[in-house]
Amino acid sequence: MKRWLGLAILGWAAAGAAHETPEAAVDAFWRALSHGPGAGADGNTLRDLFAPGAQVYGLSEREGRTVLRQRSAAEFIDAQVRVDAKAFDEREIHREVRRYGAFAEVFATVESRTDRTAIAADFTGINSLHLVEQDGRWRIIGLYYALERPGQPLPLAWRGER
């Protein structure tokens, strides 16, 4: 019993330590979303990363029209933790961080793959994560993402290229 309690305390401390900077929180976010085949995202880490009341916005295209989907972080997490037959691997290839006091914005380009060994990504997108520091740790208060679309490539600088 003492051993399990000790492991639980160590796990909790490690999770909290992962959010000491905006960059560390975003790194933990990509790791939590990524998973192998027959699994889903790490829901515990995602719930820990998002602040209460956080919102997620996703931009997509349907029938030639741009559609903005808004949902709570809880709804987003519920969708991510579902078991998926395929793997899902998020790889950040570009990051810009702007920080003022306890507020930070992380703008990132991410490649997503269903085969971790694949050279080419299945899709690429941009993400804008807004974070706030409270009680010595950074949490996500808002996430906006959009996938790259045919005929509208991302700028080379956002791909880590010049």
The whole-angstrom separation of Cα 106 and Cα 98 is 7
Each of the 162 residues of the chain gets a pLDDT tens digit; together they read 444 434 343 344 444 445 899 999 999 999 999 999 999 999 999 999 999 999 999 998 888 888 999 999 999 999 999 999 999 999 999 999 999 999 999 999 999 999 988 999 999 999 999 999 998 999 999 999 999 988 888 888 888 764
∠ Cα 145 24 7 (to 5°): 120
Q: What integer pLDDT is reported at residue 18 of this predicted model?
A: 54
Asked if CATH classification 3.40.50.11260 holds for the domain at 2-159, the reply, yes or no, is: no
Q: What integer pLDDT is reported at residue 14 of this predicted model?
A: 43
pTM value is 0.85
Q: What integer pLDDT is reported at residue 79 of this predicted model?
A: 96
* Parallel, antiparallel or unpaired: strands 50-62 and 65-72: antiparallel
Exposure b/e, 82-103, CB count within 10 A at least 16 = b: eebeebbbbebebbeeeeeeee
How far is Cα of residue 60 from the mean position of the Cα atoms in its chain?
A: 17
